[in-house]
Amino acid sequence: MVSAQDKVADIVTSHSECAPVFQKHKIDFCCNGGVSLAEASKKRGVDADALISELQEAIAQRRGKPAGDPRELSTAGLIGAIISTHHEYLRKILPFLVPLAAKVGNVHGDHDPKLRDLARVVQELSDALIPHLDKEEQTLFPALMTGKPAPRLVRDELDAMVKEHLEVATLLDQVHTATEDYTLPDWACNSYRTLFTELKSMESDILRHVHLENHVLMSRFTAQESAATTAG
């Protein structure tokens, strides 16, 4: 079902259950998902055959359970799903995480200065993501759902979307550094543990969110633009 030449993003698009496997091995399936599994595994020092076995197992475990294919949704349906599943989640979780990260940084920052760095990064994530969600909902998504979107507007907004996604990816890398890959010390209090658990869940959601926008939604319009250019 999965080969070393398959693109990482395509694997996740066809089999969403593979996303946690890639995430476990720190293989980017959203912003840089356009590379083959062989190339991605080599970059991360992961045995490609072992990785394929893990992916096949994840697919086998999901077999027989309903798994909606986002490619089958209309553009309006896909955008609606992105907003209701991912945008609304971020609008709820970020206002919770920002003060929680500040609290943990203030209480435990003397013991571990990285926690103060973490509080700063979580605030920067919120500052970057909330305006990004607003812009997508107010400008990009309505343009994509008009039926005949203005090519220049769509191209500019999609380019901006991808750039902002890369900025968010950089901030998530900083979260990994500050948390030492979500490693909890024995002395961590409940707030500390809750913060790390929710940050890890948020990262998983963001990765799926960005994957849908970059590799399912965006591809529809870049393909249309390419076809129009060829026809012209």
Per-residue pLDDT of the chain (232 residues; tens, 9 = 90+): 799 999 999 999 888 889 989 999 999 998 889 999 999 999 999 999 999 999 999 888 876 555 578 989 999 999 999 999 999 999 999 999 999 999 999 999 999 999 999 999 999 999 999 999 999 999 999 999 886 767 788 889 999 999 999 999 999 999 999 999 999 999 999 999 999 999 999 999 999 999 999 999 998 887 555 444 444 4
Domain end call among 62, 79, 96: 62
Question: What is the amino acid identity at position 137?
Answer: E
Residue 87 lies in a domain: yes
Q: Based on the domain organization, do 56 and 144 belong to the same domain?
A: no
Q: Based on the domain organization, do 56 and 99 belong to the same domain?
A: no
Residue 107 lies in a domain: yes
Give the DSSP letter of residue 35. Answer: S
**Residue 90's domain spans which residues?**
71-231
Residue 225 lies in a domain: yes
156-162 contacts at long range (C-beta below 8 A, 24 or more positions apart): 158/218, 158/221, 158/222, 160/135, 161/132, 161/136, 161/213, 161/218, 162/31, 162/214, 162/218
pLDDT at residue 7, as a whole number: 95
Q: Based on the domain organization, do 76 and 145 belong to the same domain?
A: yes
Q: Based on the domain organization, do 168 and 142 belong to the same domain?
A: yes
pLDDT at residue 226, as a whole number: 47
Q: Based on the domain organization, do 114 and 148 belong to the same domain?
A: yes
Query: For the stretch 42-79, what's the b/e string if a residue is b when 16 or more beta carbons lie within 10 angstroms of its beta carbon?
Result: eeeebebeebbebbeebbeeeeeeeeeebeebebeebb
Residue 1 lies in a domain: no
Q: What is the dihedral of CA 193, 20, 40, 118, to 10 degrees?
A: -20
Q: Based on the domain organization, do 161 and 112 belong to the same domain?
A: yes
pTM of the model: 0.83
Q: Based on the domain organization, do 23 and 89 belong to the same domain?
A: no
Q: Based on the domain organization, do 39 and 81 belong to the same domain?
A: no
Residue 94 lies in a domain: yes
What is the C-alpha separation between 122 and 100, in angstroms, rounded?
A: 10
Residue 190 lies in a domain: yes
Q: Based on the domain organization, do 94 and 18 belong to the same domain?
A: no
Q: Based on the domain organization, do 24 and 55 belong to the same domain?
A: yes
Q: How many domains does the chain have?
A: 2
Residue 3 lies in a domain: no
Sign of CA dihedral 84, 134, 76, 166: negative
Q: Based on the domain organization, do 34 and 104 belong to the same domain?
A: no
Domain end call among 21, 39, 62: 62
Structure-token pair, residue 150: 């203005």
Q: Based on the domain organization, do 85 and 56 belong to the same domain?
A: no
Residue 2 lies in a domain: no
